[in-house]
Structures are given as C-alpha cells and as structure tokens.
Amino acid sequence: MKLVRSIVSIVLLAGLATACSVNPVTGEQELSLMSPAQEVAIGAQQYGPSQQSQGGRYVVDPDLNVYINRVGQKLAAVSDRPDLPYEFVVLNNGVPNAWALPGGKIAINRGLLVLLEDEAQLAAVLGHEIVHAAARHSAQQQTRGTLLNVGLVAAGAALSSQGEQTAGLAMGALGVGAQAWQAQYGQGQELESDKYGIKYMVAAGYDPQGAVELQQAFVKLSEGRQSGWLESFFASHPPSQTRVDRNREMVAQYTGGDRNRAAYQRAIAQLKEDAGAYDNYQQALQAAGDDRARAYQLLDKAVKQQPNETLFWELKGRLHAADEDFSQSAAALDRAVAANPEFFRPYIYRALAFDQLKKTDNAARDLEKSMALLPTQIAAYYLGEYALADGQQQQALEYFQMAAQGGGELGQKAQSRLQQMQQATQ
Ligand SMILES: [Zn+2]
C-alpha cells in the first residue's frame, strides 16, 4: 500500500503545482499539472509493477531486449526531450501492445514484435511511444484519473495474464483478472504522436514509410477484432483511416531511409522459432478446463520446444495443482521460477502448493518475494494468515488491511479477520 499512498501524494502534490508551461514537443502553451521531476518519479515508480502485471520481462532471449533498447535509445536521442531517463523493455505477453509511462519508461510486448517486418516499423512504434512520454500526454490526462489508476492496479490482484483464456482452470478465490494500466489517449494525441514519431524516425535515419505500413496493418487487424482486443495496442491507440491518410501526407516529403529488415528478422528469430511452442501453450490453456489430458500433452510439447519459458512450467504447475498433486505442482513451479526468477506469479502459485504441503515457511518466503515484485491481494491475505498464526498481530493487521482494500471474496475474508482481531483485543 505504500506504493499507492506515495502515488496518491505525488498526484495531490502535483495538483498544487499547476502552472502554465510550453510543451517540449509542440511548443504550444499549455496548463501543466506536473513538473518534469514528478513525471520522472511516477514513471520510475510504476515501471516495475506495470511490467509485472503484464507478464514480466521476456527473458528467453535477452539479446532481443538489448536490440530493442538500442533502437529505442537511437530515437530518444533525436527526440525533443533527449534528457529523459528512457528505458525500453520487451514483455512476455502475446497480446500486441506497447505503452509508455511518463518520464520515458517504455515497453513492447513480444506479441507486437512478431507482427512487425523490419526495424523501420519497430521505429514507428517506439517513436510514437516516445512522443507520448516526451509530449507529456499522460500528464495532460491526469485530471481523468489515469495516473491514480496506475497505483491501484499495482496493488490489486493480477494473477491471470492478459489475453489468456484461463477458462475452466479452477482458480477459485485466487484468480482475478488484472486490469492492467492502459492510457486512454485521445485522437488528437494519437495524431500528434504519429506526426512527431515520424519526425524522430527521419532524424534517426529510418524510412518513415514504416509508419504508414504499420498504421495500415493495424487498421486491417482491428477490423478482425479478435480476442484480447480490449487489452491490445488498438484499444489504447485506436487505429483509423484518418491516421493512415495523415501519415501518408507527412511521409510524402521524405524519401529513402533505413529499413534494416535483416537485422530485425535476426533479432526476433528466437520468437519466430518459438511461435509453435507458444501456440501449443495457448491451446493448452484453452483445453485446461475440459480436457486435462490434452492440456498436459500440449504443454509437454511446448516445454520440449522451448524449455526455458516460465509460462509453460507455470501452467504445468497449475494443472497439477488443479489435479491436487501438489508435489508435482511445486516441482513444475520450481522450473518456472528458475526460468524467470524476476516474475511474481510463479511464486504465488508455488506458495499455494507449499501451503497445501504444509510447508508454510517456504510458502511465506515465496509470497514475500512476490510482494516485492508486485503487491497483490492474495499474497497479502495469506501473509496475514501466516503472521496471525505466528502471533505477529501488528504484521497480520497490516496485511489484512492491505488485502481488505482489494474487495471481492478475499477482501471480505480479510475484513472479517480484522473484525475478529479487533474483538479479541476488546
Ligand atoms: Zn498512441
């Protein structure tokens, strides 16, 4: 909850510091609700939790992240605010999406990377996101409560990753879909980001035609409106024919520039090689509810194709837990944690297996680790129970208060624990 409190206080402080200033990208006068230092602070604070709640970092091929960051930094250096502490990460999420936090903290999902053809198209995405950060679009949205939501999301339960069909897997009180942070930009901000993004592309030596192609592809994709639509790039950055036309006009004045197709294809080669494995994983998720045997089969295939993907081992652990084989579950989750020790979710599932195996010390350790990565209601609740059983009243109180704020079934359970504790002290 500390996180939420500090976000709230930053936002409240920001409200007092309202002033008129010149937009660093457009040069226009505007009402500035936040100082640049406050923006940077919010971005830095939210970057970790935002990554966690959307699948964590993609770590199967760390070189991919190095490459993406290099392209991003190249564009950031020629932007209107090269001084921001830019960072670019790849998230382990199959939904096509990309986002920017204030202060230049940017992320792109592996699900979007596989839809792109070359570095120019990648530069179009990253350039666009850089403008959202550089032109302070989130700061302008602040009055709509966008930034407040950022903090509350991080504190909420975030167990199921976006775009995944967890139908049928008995999650009970544990599973709560995450409402991950999504900025809602207006059409004006989108056009502005396209426009200056193209400018940055050209300044960095890229062929801006990539931006037109990207927008065309998005319009086409958005017509399909497949599952995961609401969490995808298209929901937060609505594509439109207007944007295609505007981009085309902008680009007409430039010729040439780098495409770097070969370099891009090399960079995403591992992702492409693993496409079949991720496909098997998605099918296993869908089969998990009504055809467990088939789900295991598909997962075994996926694990054989790519043994270092934390998501595959995590689902295996969840299937074993659903079958009440908690030793097997914990063993599979060991592999999930080993594959990516910096992702909060496998720790929670392993803790639940440890809890069933009566290894509460191990469970508590996993829950604490998960809380450090992303505070969740479920981890807070169980840590409250363990603290209570240990006779640590004050700690139990704090955890239950945290869990109670999340609402829902677990929130009510935490609430009644708090009442019991209060009565006990009267
Ligand atoms: Zn956008």
Q: What is the CATH number of the domain that holds 363?
A: 1.25.40.10
Angle at 230 between CA 199 and CA 270, to 5 degrees: 65
Please check whether residues 24 and 46 belong to one and the same domain.
yes
Residue 349 pLDDT more than 50?
yes
Cα 241 to ligand 1 centroid, rounded to whole Å: 15
Please check whether residues 42 and 137 belong to one and the same domain.
yes
Cα 370 to ligand 1 centroid, rounded to whole Å: 31
Cα 282 to ligand 1 centroid, rounded to whole Å: 28
Please check whether residues 245 and 342 belong to one and the same domain.
no
Please check whether residues 333 and 250 belong to one and the same domain.
no
Given this model, what pLDDT does residue 188 score?
Answer: 84
Cα 134 to ligand 1 centroid, rounded to whole Å: 12
Model confidence over 239-271: pLDDT tens digits?
A: 788 888 999 999 998 989 999 999 999 999 999
Cα 128 to ligand 1 centroid, rounded to whole Å: 6
Residue from 246, 254, 158, 268 nearest 200 by CA: 254
Given this model, what pLDDT does residue 230 score?
Answer: 52
Please check whether residues 252 and 315 belong to one and the same domain.
no
Model confidence over 112-152: pLDDT tens digits?
A: 999 999 999 999 999 999 999 998 887 666 544 444 443 33
For the ranges 2-11, 39-48, 49-58, 389-398, the lowest mean pLDDT is seen at 2-11
Given this model, what pLDDT does residue 333 score?
Answer: 98
Please check whether residues 210 and 187 belong to one and the same domain.
yes
Model confidence over 284-343: pLDDT tens digits?
A: 999 998 899 999 999 999 999 999 999 999 999 999 999 999 999 999 999 999 999 999
Token digits of residue 382:
């169980």
Model confidence over 69-92: pLDDT tens digits?
A: 999 999 999 999 999 999 999 999
Q: Position of tokens 């009565």?
A: 423
Q: Does any domain span residue 91?
A: yes
Domain edge (last residue) among 225, 255, 270: 270
Q: Indicate whether this model's pTM tops 0.75.
A: yes
Chain centre distance of CA 93:
8
Residue 274 φ then ψ, to 5°: -90, 5
Please check whether residues 17 and 132 belong to one and the same domain.
yes
Mean pLDDT for 411-415 is 93
Cα 99 to ligand 1 centroid, rounded to whole Å: 8
Please check whether residues 254 and 277 belong to one and the same domain.
no
Given this model, what pLDDT does residue 294 score?
Answer: 97
Please check whether residues 27 and 77 belong to one and the same domain.
yes
Q: What average pLDDT does the chain have?
A: 84
Residues less than 5 Å from ion ligand 1, measured at CB? 193, 237
Domain that holds residue 319: 273-425
Q: Does any domain span residue 355?
A: yes
Sign of the four-CA dihedral 145, 151, 153, 155 = negative
- What is the C-alpha separation between 324 and 304, in angstroms, rounded? 24
pLDDT band at 166 (very low <50, low <70, confident <90, very high): very low
Cα 325 to ligand 1 centroid, rounded to whole Å: 45
Q: Position of tokens 């530069």?
A: 123
Cα 125 to ligand 1 centroid, rounded to whole Å: 9
Given this model, what pLDDT does residue 232 score?
Answer: 63
Please check whether residues 252 and 346 belong to one and the same domain.
no
Please check whether residues 229 and 301 belong to one and the same domain.
no
Cα 257 to ligand 1 centroid, rounded to whole Å: 23
Q: Does any domain span residue 167?
A: no
Q: Does any domain span residue 131?
A: yes
Cα 58 to ligand 1 centroid, rounded to whole Å: 22
pLDDT band at 39 (very low <50, low <70, confident <90, very high): confident
Cα 100 to ligand 1 centroid, rounded to whole Å: 9
Residue 2 pLDDT more than 60?
no
Cα 212 to ligand 1 centroid, rounded to whole Å: 14
Q: Does any domain span residue 293?
A: yes
Residue 58 pLDDT more than 80?
yes
Cα 236 to ligand 1 centroid, rounded to whole Å: 7
Compute the residue count for the chain. Answer: 426
Cα 341 to ligand 1 centroid, rounded to whole Å: 31
Cα 344 to ligand 1 centroid, rounded to whole Å: 28
Q: Position of tokens 């679009």?
A: 137
Cα 240 to ligand 1 centroid, rounded to whole Å: 12
Contacts of 292 (CB under 8 A, 6+ apart): 319, 322, 323
Please check whether residues 362 and 226 belong to one and the same domain.
no
Cα 129 to ligand 1 centroid, rounded to whole Å: 6
Domain edge (last residue) among 270, 293, 322: 270
Q: Does any domain span residue 313?
A: yes
Domain edge (last residue) among 226, 243, 270: 270
Element (DSSP H or E) covering residue 99: strand 98-101
The tally of domains found in the chain comes to 2
Cα 120 to ligand 1 centroid, rounded to whole Å: 17
Q: Does any domain span residue 417?
A: yes
Cα 28 to ligand 1 centroid, rounded to whole Å: 19
For the ranges 64-68, 162-166, 187-191, 362-366, the lowest mean pLDDT is seen at 162-166
Q: Does any domain span residue 222?
A: yes
Cα 87 to ligand 1 centroid, rounded to whole Å: 17
Cα 57 to ligand 1 centroid, rounded to whole Å: 21
Residue 244 φ then ψ, to 5°: -60, -50
Q: State the DSSP code for 357.
A: T
